[in-house]
Amino acid sequence: MTITIVGAGLGGLALARVLYVHGIDAVVYERELARDARGQGGMLDIHSGQRALREAGLLDRFHAIARIEGQDMRLLQPDGTLLLQEDTPDDAPPDRPEVDRADLRNLLLDSLPEDTVRWGHAFTAADEGLVHFADGSSATYDLLVGADGAQSRVRALLTDARPAHIGQNVVELGIPDIDRTHPDLAAMVGRGNYWVLGDSLSLAAQRNGDGRVRLGLSFYNTAADWFAISGIPFDDPDAARTRLIDLLPGWHPRFTALIAACDDTIVPRSITTLPVGLTWPSTPDVTLLGDAAHLMPPVGEGANMALLDGALLGLALAAHPDDFPTAVAEYEREMFERTSAAARMSADMQELLMSPDACQRLLEFFQTDPR
Ligand SMILES: Cc1cc2nc3c(=O)[nH]c(=O)nc-3n(C[C@H](O)[C@H](O)[C@H](O)COP(=O)(O)OP(=O)(O)OC[C@H]3O[C@@H](n4cnc5c(N)ncnc54)[C@H](O)[C@@H]3O)c2cc1C
């Protein structure tokens, strides 16, 4: 019985690892050519997903690479007023540590036999027990798991649902080696998360494990085609930084100094999500996990859910090794319920961030949230 996983992201790899721990083989087909073919992005806040790492037998190794101090939080207003500062004590429990996405992915990759992941295989279609790849090759499957992320192509086998724009456009930038190049800005941002919330605008800065500070400038209540009319010349980094600073009128110079210090990697990202509570009729030989199943606003749940999906599907298959349809139905029942609750929570947080009094509401949230 062949378990074929499409996508070597966190969810697909968590599934492959839990299956491996239970002595079940699986093959992961990944379109990237190698593990380091593409930058993996910044830090992830891992909380409920730690259960998946425990099931994968990797929790201790995860804690060794996670940064507890990455939980630090500073919240400010655009005029520079500091509203909240939470510094994580050295002996704090590792409930929500931050981890570099590439480190976490490498942890999972290194825990699998060398030939589990077949790089350079971009899934295009599936029919009659065969998966087809862009290079013309194909492979058989008894169970096909779409773990191929936000723009999943496997998803179409189960549902017509497509991600839709939610009125947020983000520009991602970064300051490399900040301690050496801009020690004053490094001290200002601190060890974890630094948030400035204005009216339909936010700046989120976050220290990464490699000494880079990543910045996300979010423009809320903007249309799907906003980048085309924003006047940000992405092909001219100097002019793009200047334009971004112009888009923050009245913001304290210490915030615009962060943008001026960024290097030339400036990436636009349009935020889309799947409908909250998306389900599909269970199909015995195909299922989805992670963003392919429940793409949510990026407010700290998606990677946790993807890891949990992978681990829990792995456990269901281990419990029913000769009965994939029962395992899939059992997995989907739990996954639909758990992830719709997470998607609802994420949508509420998104609504808060997009509201005119976002800063005050987020402050109240942090002051009352029993995190
Ligand atoms: C800026 C940002 C910050 C975030 N921060 C957090 C956070 O702090 N905490 C949190 O929980 N979540 C966070 N998320 C969400 C999180 O990143 C995702 O939910 C998570 O990565 C989903 O994992 P996945 O395995 O489903 O998909 P992915 O990690 O996207 O992996 C999908 C894999 O499938 C491969 N693939 C795609 N198409 C094909 C194909 N046709 N054939 C073969 N392979 C294919 C891709 O190359 C990729 O390797 C954030 C998201 C963003 C955008």
For the stretch 143-165, pLDDT in tens is 999 999 999 999 999 999 999 99
CA atoms within 13 A on the CB side of 185: 26
Q: What pLDDT is stored for residue 371 in this prediction? A: 60
| Residue 272, pLDDT score | 98
Task: Give the β-pairing of 98-100 and 117-118.
Answer: unpaired
Q: What average pLDDT does range 349-361 have in this prediction?
A: 92
Strands 123-127 and 117-118: unpaired
Question: Atom of ligand 1 at shortest distance to CA of 105?
Answer: 29
pTM flag (> 0.85): yes
Q: Would the pLDDT of 41 be above 80?
A: no
Asked whether the beta carbons of 298 and 166 are under 8 A apart, the reply is no
The pair phi, psi for residue 151, each rounded to 5°, is -95, 35
Cα(122) to centroid(ligand 1), Å: 16
DSSP 8-class letter at 71:
G
pLDDT beyond 80 at 369: no
**pLDDT band, residue 18 (cuts 50/70/90):** very high
**Which residues have any ligand 1 atom within 6 Å of their CB?**
6-12, 29-32, 44-45, 122-123, 147-149, 153, 290-292, 298, 300-304, 306
Calpha distance 302→147 (Å, rounded): 13
Distance, CA 291 to ligand 1 centroid (Å)?
6
Residue nearest ligand 1's atom 30 by CA? 149
Centroid of ligand 1 to alpha carbon of 47 (angstroms): 16
Residues 129 and 142 sit within 8 Å (Cβ to Cβ): yes
- The residue-averaged pLDDT of 245-265 equals 96
Q: Residue with the nearest Cα to atom 1 of ligand 1?
A: 298
Taking CA atoms, 316 is separated from 28, 85, 206, 364, in Å, by 18, 42, 36, 40
130-133, strands of its sheet edge to edge: 123-127, 130-133, 138-140
State the residue for tokens 């993996």: 40
Q: Give the model's confidence band at 22: pLDDT under 50 very low, under 70 low, under 90 confident, else very high.
A: very high
Q: Where are the beta strands (DSSP E) in the chain?
A: 3-6, 27-29, 43-45, 73-76, 82-86, 98-100, 117-118, 123-127, 130-133, 138-140, 143-146, 164-175, 193-197, 201-207, 213-220, 267-273, 286-288
pLDDT of residue 370: 56
